[in-house]
Structure 1
Amino acid sequence: MILIADSGSSKTDWRGIDQEGNVSQFRGVGFNPYYQTPEEMATELNDEFLLNLKEEVVAVYYYGAGCSTPENKQGVAKTLGNLFSKAHIEIEHDLLAAARATCGHAPGISCILGTGSNSCDYDGKTIIDTRPSPGFLLGDEGGGTYIGRKFLQDFIHDEMPVALRKQVEERFQLTAATIQDNVYRKPFPGRYMASFCRFITEHVSEPYCYLLYYNAFQDFFKKHVARYQGYQDKQVSFVGSVAFYNSDILRKAAADMQINVHLILESPIAGLTLYHKENP
């Protein structure tokens, strides 16, 4: 059996493919070696689904957020190796997952718009160019954390519509103090800020909420996609929940910048499963 993992900061999608081509699946918590230690990751890997497979797995293809440096790759590989001791293990960045899932063996620009954001220019085999992705404090334009941060800033400064603010207060019992506590004192502030995207999407008929997404997507295009050579002549694809559940706004923002949108997937895992079935 081979095991495929697509891991973002919020969730990890796992797929197992046995010798007959049957697929099993599981969704667990997300990992990011920039924010979690190998010990914390090891604890979360003690799940029944993974433990039941550990003797059968001969190869693990793990695509993860934060797996862009040799040090981070080594830490994740060691943690997975302790669980799947008989398996060949490959660790790749989540950007390559997005590229393989959306482009396969064809060239194109592939983007991630989930909790965070990222992008790359892909030639059908390898990533040939990418833009800086410095995380939620310094980047993540167009991602859930970026949008949620603006939403919470507007709440604190009383710069959102009055009726919408009242709904936010009633639904989340939100105050400036609780926001600051979750952002500055509790773990995973990025996840916390991104969690408000569900509410924003539910109210996207409100011009304020629509523009939160539209402006964030425009910021992403300017910082990322428009920096790639010949971007207007290339197909641009997306993976991630923010892109998927707000695809109409994303396509409008792209069209206004003469960007050709190809695919928008909620998760790359289905495309990765197909890719590894064809390339075991």
Structure 2
Amino acid sequence: MSTTADQPTQWPQLPTIELPPFLEFLKLKSFPLKVYPPVYERPKLTHDTLYIYGPGWRNSWGSFDVECLQMQIYLKFCDIEFEAKNNNEPNSSPSGKLPYLATVTGAVYDTDQIHKWVSERNKTKALASIADSEQAKAFIALARTKLHAAWLFSAWLEPLNYSEITSKAYYGHVPGPINHLLAYQKQNEVVHELLTDRDILVREEIYKDAAQALEALSIKLGDSAYFYGSSEPTWLDAVIFSYIHAIMSMPTLPGSTLGDEEKKQATTLRNLVRKHENLVRYAKTIYDEWLK
């Protein structure tokens, strides 16, 4: 036997109200009634644009940020026409990180997607040998672990570099005291990143690993203009150049309230690079040819 619970609920139909003719104007025959132009409309891009941290050290065209500089120089290597715009606001990126590329078609790409975009345009610069390409991945990994850790430590944890250079480069455009808070937050993020593959941070060990990485890169480069004797630069060159250039072009500290020992510590990584004349020459040649 069916019950009332088994039957669907029947709601009473709402009455239809007809407005008299003299109230016809109350009917919203179209909505919205009026569309006002936007207060600010973002201008359309006329060129594909790479948004980066900048300007570079000493106001050069290349970014002071290693990851931004890698993509910036690689797009140059690939003969892609683009504009570089100093953004310094990672939150403007869909991924929350710089760099990112915005195209004239309205598409936006983060770093990994930019590589795919370059490949689809048949502009990729790769080593001729498959074996060399596979070995190059090992050198890229070496740079992005050992050399990258030393770069982060030098930029964010050496007291003079952090207070006088790095924090101002990344957050100097932000009014105080917010700039100091953001720099302190970033410094903590760097510490956590460096601790992902080690229990404690030992300054000497980090720089020792960097010295070994630089030695291996110097031997591999030899007297060649580009790695593996390539006739044109590849993604490996973009990665290695970005680290060497960022390290060597960081501003010097002529005066400071801190002592000579702190100044010496601030230049430790730069001095490690200077031991390898071919790496210094390599970075200068690429800068003069592609960025200057």
- TM-score clears 0.5: no
Looking at secondary structure, tell me which structure has more strand per residue: 1
Looking at secondary structure, tell me which structure has more helix per residue: 2
Structure of higher CA gyration radius: 2
Superposition TM-score, scaled by structure 2 size: 0.32
